[in-house]
Amino acid sequence: MSKSLCFAAAIIVASVVPAFANDCGPAPVGPVIPAASELAGKTVEAGRAIVIDAYHQVKAYQAALQPFRACLKMQADAQTAAIAAAQADKDHDKAKDKIAAAKQALEDLDKINAASVDAETQVATDFNTLHMAQCVNDTDPKICPKKP
């Protein structure tokens, strides 16, 4: 199930990317986190290896999201500046078109960012589900720390 959710999130992110946002490239695609049911029948050590591998994949994905989101922010800042410049333009008819285009671009950037946050949230949720399932049987404090 988590595989289909990650794939769906990637499709959503790709579908909302307008042509102008190609400066940032495509959104990073999240890893496919194994379902908790995949731990069934595995030894504690094998399950631990699966969780550790998934953890590293999640961290790499989150690291890839940082420059992508920074690029989106730079583009949003540029659109905000374009709105301010257009508002200062004395040709109000020309300015209205520029403002409308920049506002649309800001909305599109916001959708792209929101889709990347949703995809990251789904990856984190899938990992947490896997991790909690492992901690039912795992007593290694490095993997499953005791709660105070």
Calpha distance 137→142 (Å, rounded):
14
Instruction: Give this prediction's pTM.
Output: 0.79
Question: Average pLDDT for residues 132-141, to the nearest whole number?
Answer: 91
Q: Which of 52, 41, 66 is nearest to 120 (CA)?
A: 66
Q: Return mean pLDDT, the chain.
A: 86
Residue 147 binned pLDDT confidence (cut-offs 50, 70, 90): low
102 neighbors 76 (Cβ within 8 angstroms): no
DSSP code at position 28? P
pLDDT of 23 reads 86
pLDDT of 132 reads 94
Calpha distance 106→111 (Å, rounded):
9
